[in-house]
Every structure is written in C-alpha cells, then in structure tokens.
Amino acid sequence: MTRHSLDDLLAIMARLRDPERGCPWDVRQDFASIAAYTIEEAYEVADAIDRRDWHDLRDELGDLLLQVAFHAQMAAEQGLFDFADVVHAIGAKMVRRHPHVFGDTRYADLGEQMQAWEAIKAAERADKGDAVDHSALAGVSAGLPEWKRAHKLQQRAAATGFTWPGPEPVLAKLAEELDEVRAEFADGADPARLQDEVGDVLFVAVNLARHAGVDFSQALRHANAKFERRFRRMEHLAAAEGTAFGERTLAEQEQLWQRAKQMERQP
C-alpha cells in the first residue's frame, strides 16, 4: 500500500478544490464556512486523547491537518499565502519565542520564562503595527472559546498579583454568585439579569478550575461523558424492565439514575 506524503495531501486538497474536476462541496467552501470544522476537529483530537485511543488520535490529527491544508489551499488560490508560508511562519515563531533553546538566553525559572514569552509576543504585536496596548490583558484573542478566554484573562490578571490567594475565597465567591442567581429567580427571572448572573457563576467556576490546577475544558468533557454514560445506562435499565425511559415519572427516573451511579461503583 502506497504511503501518502505531505506533498500528496496538498495535491489531494488542490484537486478537491479544482473548479472543474474537484468536489462541488469543497469548491463552495470559504474560510468562514470551514472555520467551524477546524474547531470541531481540534476538539475531536482532545476527545481521542481523553479516551487514550491512539489509533483514533492518529486519524483525528489527520483530520486536523487536513483543515490546515484546506485553509492554506484557499489562501493560495487568492494569492495570500500557501502551506509553505504557514510552515515557515510557525517555525520562525517557535525559534523566536524560545531564545533559551535556540540561542544563548537563560531564564532563572519557569516564571521568568513565561514573563519573557509575553514580552516577546508584545514585541511581535508592535512589529506588526498593532495599536500599542499596555494592559496586562493585551493580546488575549476574542476568537477563543469563551471559557478559554476567561482562563487567559484570569491568568494575565494573576500575573499582576490580582488573584485570590487560594481556593477558599473562590468557593466563597461562587456561593455568593449562586445566591445572586437564586435572587434573580425569586424576583421574576429577568432574562438579561439572569444572563449576567449566570455568566458570573461560570466565570468564577473557570477561576476555581484554575486554582485547582484543573483544565476546565477537560473537566467539562469528562462530566459530559459521565452524564452520557449514566443516561444511556438508565435507558438500558428501563428497556430491560419493559418500559421506555421517557414514560417513567421523574421520581422513577431519579431511581434509575441512582442505580446507574451505583453500578459504576461496582468492581
């Protein structure tokens, strides 16, 4: 069996985009329409890692690489840049941002290295002609998933000393924000106010994960997987007893939920 090379992949992508001989679906796509697939493929890579499915990880990394090739091909068609330019840009960036690896710079510790990393990024923004932003929050992309942006904003603020000293104050703040959500429900649940208060709860939850050293996205993926696993088990238990899950009362469904949880604890 012939092993495809990176050049083969780029040729395949070019053929898929050929206006006359390519795939009609691929030809119709643009940067905006493909962006959502790029994000989805990145999450599928993370899911394969969570499941420790290395065969699937290989395939998912291929899907993610295809997204890079897809964007590069569309850019080449418009004379913007090509795949080689993408490779050169990331290679140059990694060398530039690691002077302690590819040069003679030495850092005292990881904290000093991270400070230098941010300084290098700030210099890069200035070289590109971006408006000078002296805020500690400068450069936190608005295009990040919101939970990730919250985490980065909190990290930047913490680097200035603006952070709780440990998890206990964060837990107290989370309880306070939950009380405010309860108050909004008691006052009639105004949609705008509820959105504001629930947003505060989520922001503090991200902060709690940061203090705990827990990856918020990974924790939520695990919670989703646990819920799906238990829900499917409830459906199976109900079916085994001759009744569709949706036909059970809420109390009966709760009993099934407790049984599903108990079954997970059994060796």
CB burial readout 91-115, b (16+ within 10 A) else e: eeeeeeeeeeeeeeeeeeeeeeeee
CB burial readout 116-130, b (16+ within 10 A) else e: beeeeebeeeeeeee
**Radius of gyration of the chain from its Cα atoms, rounded to whole angstroms:** 25
Q: Report, as ranges of residue numbers, the positions in the chain whose pLDDT lies below 50.
A: none
Query: So what's the pLDDT on residue 50?
Result: 85
pTM: 0.64
Burial of 60 (0-12, 13-18, 19+ CB in 10 A): buried
Query: So what's the pLDDT on residue 111?
Result: 85
Query: So what's the pLDDT on residue 103?
Result: 92
Model confidence over 198-257: pLDDT tens digits?
999 999 999 999 999 998 888 988 899 899 999 999 999 999 999 899 999 999 999 999
167 neighbors 208 (Cβ within 8 angstroms): yes
Model confidence over 136-145: pLDDT tens digits?
888 788 878 8
209 neighbors 216 (Cβ within 8 angstroms): yes
Query: So what's the pLDDT on residue 9?
Result: 96
